[in-house]
Structure 1
């Protein structure tokens, strides 16, 4: 059905927009580097995270490798949610829950695939 193909395209674009924003945020890396260091992780991980965010977003926009990329994004969201698990901070807990919701959307996208409006499957 046409509406389903349009809905999948919109879903891909909306999820991609989130990861484009994540990539852009990492171009000013100090806050992310501090967050990583605060969790005992090497701060240089900001750079592969930036590349992953940008590359995954591009794949979703183009509709290429949607299933494996969406699965990887779901795992990424689950992992990065740990940075926001701060029960005493309602704002961080909202972000924590949103990460899991985005992971769910990525899983649904992985199942559905790219839809009709894509360069590849």
Structure 2
């Protein structure tokens, strides 16, 4: 049962990043604005979108989950800064959500993919 729970948890976390990819590709302007408002080039959205998709697929497949989850935890922590807008309750909820997702990713990084995974047999 615990391996099934890890699989479902991996997929649910991954779906957030798939949605992030779709959102960035379908309507890049809001995310580009978050970047440019902080003095960063808006084109950084494209590598971020690719990372969202690639890491999500790794979680779903159970391939190199420890590494992917650790990178996703760092990504969530780093990108939370873009949502630290105390005057905007919606952005603050995204800020907190990012830290919660980072926590779930850290659990995956620590414990691995579980039994249902592809590839790396050293613990995913």
Is the aligned partner of 1:43 residue 2:42? yes
Aligned to 1:95: 94
Aligned length: 119
Deviation at 1:6, TM superposition (A): 0.3
Deviates more, 1:80-89 or 1:45-54: 80-89
Is the aligned partner of 1:74 residue 2:73? yes
Runs of 4+, deviation exceeding 6 Å? none
Aligned to 1:34: 33
Query: Structure 1, unaligned stretches of length 5 or more?
Result: none
Q: State the distance in 2 between where 1:92 and 1:116 align.
A: 36
RMSD in angstroms over aligned alpha carbons? Answer: 0.8
> TM-score normalized by structure 2?
0.93
Q: State the distance in 2 between where 1:91 and 1:37 align.
A: 19
> TM-score normalized by structure 1?
0.95
Q: State the distance in 2 between where 1:68 and 1:117 align.
A: 17
